[in-house]
Structure 1
């Protein structure tokens, strides 16, 4: 049950280092929120117009502010992710409440993430083309739904086996897609179990959040925010654990 071990190890990693996690994530998130709020201040009226009218054309100022807000959000996210990877793998402890912004590592992390995303999109397009072709040849649309299940599983396993390139980029280690694929050989079952665990945990948290909001809304919203932050770090820790275990040979 390596998949379960990876999840539990990653969860314990966050809970054991919750204080450090707050010091790594709190200020960057607050800075990001302040910047986005300042950019979007006065633009919320256009958001309402967009929601009300499909044909509404937003102003150039609104589009510019929105694009810049997205860039800031991504930058803050990469900042926190890279800092957490380096904290776990290199024991790089923050010296204050503002973790060091490694520009080169953040750009490398973003670049590898972008390449990985494009690669997965291409693979999904290829799989969709094959499924559509086979279903058309057989003459049964239902058969495409049957083929969709192994295709989704295959894409998930492939993603799992390529994910170590992200922590490697964060700590400055060169790891190609092929090297990552070789290092994670034989991990298909682990990937499937891990994804099932993550889906189950997410569904459980959703039920608890909905129930808590129904019982006492303020507490429910606080719980939802706290769980979102913790699960984000857990997901990043999973990448760290996968890299440490399969590439560096660390025990779980």
Structure 2
């Protein structure tokens, strides 16, 4: 039941520290909404005045790039602050979390590294599954599902490098894999519980929206925020338990 304990610990982490979570995530989230609104508004203001055929396309690309950079920066700012609060007990001061620029860049670098590993390993797997789907569809579907689950579990093992980057104690992918040795079964159960939680939450949102649409929208937003924070807390829990040896009982 190790997987259930990991989930319960991460879930309790969010519930117990909801005030700190509010202090860490609220202001950056509001800044993100304002910044994205300004970018979209600027795009709509510039595009009608453009006389160049190429400019609207370039403006759209720059706009989407700007939205991505702003969203990624604000999201990573919050996530790094949350990791540091839980692991280092770095309490939020006021309503604006500390901007740890070096750790944010390290976090991005680790995400890029994980993405490259996933691309290198995943591309051949996708090719093989695609070929099997053409020649032996049933076998291709079975192997495709198995490969997907394996990839997710492998990512969960390697993702312990993300909180490590956030607290300034970088860990290599090899170290992360070694520290989480023997965790396949626990992580599989954790994944199943997370999927069940996601399905239950979405079903609740759909039901409430069908009954009372006015309440459905805020409930959907609150659910999305909670699940996002839960996933971040899962990473924090995996790091604390497997890398630092913390108890989850």
Q: TM-score, normalised to structure 1's length?
A: 0.90
Q: 1:11: Cα distance to partner?
A: 1.0
Question: How many positions carry a matched residue from both structures?
Answer: 242
| Aligned match of 2:14 | 14
Q: 1:192 to 1:45 in 2, by over 3 A?
A: farther
Matched-pair contact (CA < 8 Å) for 1:123–1:155 = no
Q: Structure 2: how far apart are the matches of 1:235 and 1:146?
A: 27
| Aligned match of 1:235 | 231
1:169 paired with 2:198, answer no
| Aligned match of 2:81 | 83
Q: 1:43 to 1:216 in 2, by over 3 A?
A: farther
Unaligned ranges ≥5, structure 1 = 48-55
Q: 1:135 to 1:32 in 2, by over 3 A?
A: closer
Q: 1:205: Cα distance to partner?
A: 0.7
Q: 1:250 to 1:41 in 2, by over 3 A?
A: same
Residue number among 206, 210, 215 corresponding to 2:206 in the alignment? 210
Unaligned ranges ≥5, structure 2 = 48-53
Residue number among 105, 108, 112 corresponding to 2:106 in the alignment? 108
1:74 paired with 2:72, answer yes
1:1-252 alignment, distance < 5 Å = 1-41=1-41, 43=43, 58-131=56-129, 139-252=135-248
Q: Structure 1: how far apart are the matches of 2:46 and 2:125?
A: 39
Q: What is the root-mean-square deviation of aligned Cα atoms in Å?
A: 2.1
Q: 1:131: Cα distance to partner?
A: 3.9
